A and B are shown apart, each in its own frame.
Chain A
Amino acid sequence: MSAAAGSGGAAPFWRAAGMTYVSYANTCAALVRNCLKEPFKTQALTREQVHYKISKWSDGVPEKSVVRETTPS
């Protein structure tokens, strides 16, 4: 939040870039995890693994489902 405060009274830069608070927080968390030393790093990085399937529905019909499978870093 100090970075946001440093950018002045306007909306923080990540908000202006279209990020939500959670994605900003996760980006920060990923950066911190990458700073860890080795035995702890791989341990912490497993918490970043993501897998889920999402599909939007319109008028009662599901659109094609998308698999999100990433390790955001």
Chain B
Amino acid sequence: MASGSARKAGMRLSSLLSGSLASGIKSQTAAASPWSSSTGAAGELGPFGSRFASSQAVRNRMKSVKSIQKITKAMKMVAASKLRGVVSKTEKSRGLWQPFIALLGDHPGVDAKKVSILTVSTDRGLCGGINSTAVKYSKALLKLSSGPDKEVSYIIVGDKARAILQRDSKQSIALTVTETQKISISFTQASMIVDEIVKDLDFDVVRVMYNKFNSVVQFLPTVTTILSPETLIRESESGKLGDLDAYEVEGAEMKSEVLQNLSEFQFASVLYNAFLENACSEQGARMSAMDSSTRNATEMLDKLTLSYNRSRQATITTELIEIISGAAALEASN
């Protein structure tokens, strides 16, 4: 009963409040009664100045857009400064794998039973589409390499590709590596990872899939094929290998030993380069993504400011009209 009467009183009050007596009634209710709070919470009783509620919402929105714009701008700056450091490192690291192409040639179309696809991605997001590109190409590679008597597995570097690939092809994941960029990317790190992969997994061919850094706005999805020692020997016997035979093997070592060492070293240097290229592409993509989002925020802010000012102007105009017409009515009655 009590609550029912309170509600009725509340309704009456709200109808009163919407009139021009608002401030006087409001102080009365605050002083007098236990039901003033409940009616306030129900939202029937707009707070003082509720007429401007929508413009207040717009103002809040503008504030949040402004701070988002600041954040994205800062992220862009950070990415740009990180990119500068990693680009020079990457360009130097390209000299590591290029001799291997000259010596052994590139064999993207080699036929093998056990294929591992090594997808290199980033640990963090907000860097454009480079991770989804890497995953897309890896999936295509998986389809190309799979067949009736073939085993294909993923080795995933980076959290982002893992998050995508574990959704639909978690059966094929063999190994995941993350947090490679926490300290810095070094050759020691790449070789330790290669060491573990070589010892743990049995493969004939590894296809390393990464985004090669071309410029800040362009990344080339790249596949590098690394043959296992056995495959390398087989290819070399059938004469498909580059000009390795032009070189003389020193000491008493067997050719197979040399090829095994070469294969492992090639894997390590390709992986090192892939990590760096990926880091480069990540920072570049983040830079351009943050740049465009800053631009979008500016645009949005402009629009919001315009509509806010317009509605404010409209309110002022309405108020003026009300006051003037009220005054005119009073004068007329007098």
Contact A21 B174 (CB under 8 A): no
Residues of B in contact with A, size category: 35 or more
**A17 interfacial contact with B, CB 8 Å:** no
Q: Give Cα A11–Cα B257 distance, bound, in whole angstroms.
A: 8
Contact A54 B176 (CB under 8 A): yes
Contact A50 B188 (CB under 8 A): yes
Given A52-B193, A57-B173, are A5 and B178 also a contact pair (CB < 8 Å)? Answer: no
Nearest residue, chain B, Cβ from A47? B186
Contact B173 A5 (CB under 8 A): no
**B199 interfacial contact with A, CB 8 Å:** yes
B57-65, B214-222, B258-266, B300-308: which lies at the interface = B258-266
Contact B195 A56 (CB under 8 A): no
Nearest residue, chain B, Cβ from A22? B191
Given A20-B264, A22-B194, are A55 and B253 also a contact pair (CB < 8 Å)? Answer: no
Nearest residue, chain B, Cβ from A6? B251
Contact B171 A59 (CB under 8 A): yes
Contact A22 B265 (CB under 8 A): yes
Contact A54 B265 (CB under 8 A): no
Contact B176 A4 (CB under 8 A): no
Partner of B176, one of A23, A48, A62, A67: A62
Contact B175 A57 (CB under 8 A): yes
In angstroms, how far is the closest chain B Cβ from the Cβ of A31?
13
Contact B170 A57 (CB under 8 A): yes
**A9 interfacial contact with B, CB 8 Å:** yes
Given A20-B198, A25-B191, are A53 and B186 also a contact pair (CB < 8 Å)? Answer: no
Q: A21-B264, A52-B180 are in contact. List 19 more A-B contacts (CB 8 A).
A: A4-B253, A20-B195, A20-B198, A20-B199, A20-B264, A21-B261, A21-B265, A22-B194, A22-B267, A29-B188, A47-B188, A51-B179, A52-B189, A53-B177, A54-B175, A54-B177, A56-B200, A57-B176, A65-B178
A-B contact pairs, 7 of them (CB 8 A): A22-B195, A29-B188, A47-B186, A54-B175, A54-B178, A60-B170, A60-B171
- Residues of A with Cβ closer than 8 Å to B? 1-2, 4-5, 8-9, 11-12, 15, 20-23, 25-26, 29, 46-57, 59-62, 65, 67-68, 72
